[in-house]
Amino acid sequence: QVQLVESGGGLVQAGGSLRLSCQASGRTFSNYAMGWFRQAPGKEREFVAAIHWSGHITYYADSVKGRFTISRDNAKNTVYLQMNSLKPGDTAVYYCAADPRPNPYSDPKAESVYDYWGQGTQVTVSS
């Protein structure tokens, strides 16, 4: 069983920055592919970013490309999401997710590949 705990959400003005963290339990975190998703009120959950277990390959939704950066520190069992130039449209609950058995055929943008999810952290961007 893998437990994921997100932190770092909050209220920020448009144009500001936040860094989300997601700490994972488990001794094999370095083998997990990790992803961030978000869900705005009244909308379906959507992909934001993902990172390969090696940390060398990353994926982003078009809406956040160039503004958000995903990274990981395997020594700390933690994945991060640095969010810059935030917009009101980024307001959502942000969830991290873990895929403990990634393979070359997995689509890192698909919710179905992730077995474990955190409880979410609220990000609110005011205009």
**pLDDT tens readout for residues 42-71:** 999 999 999 999 889 999 999 999 999 999
* The predicted structure's pLDDT at residue 76: 94
* The predicted structure's pLDDT at residue 102: 86
15/127 Cα distance (integer angstroms): 9
* 75-88: pLDDT as tens digits: 999 999 999 999 99
* The predicted structure's pLDDT at residue 1: 84
* The predicted structure's pLDDT at residue 104: 85
**Maximum CA pair distance of the chain?**
42
114/35 Cα distance (integer angstroms): 8
pLDDT of 30 above 80: yes
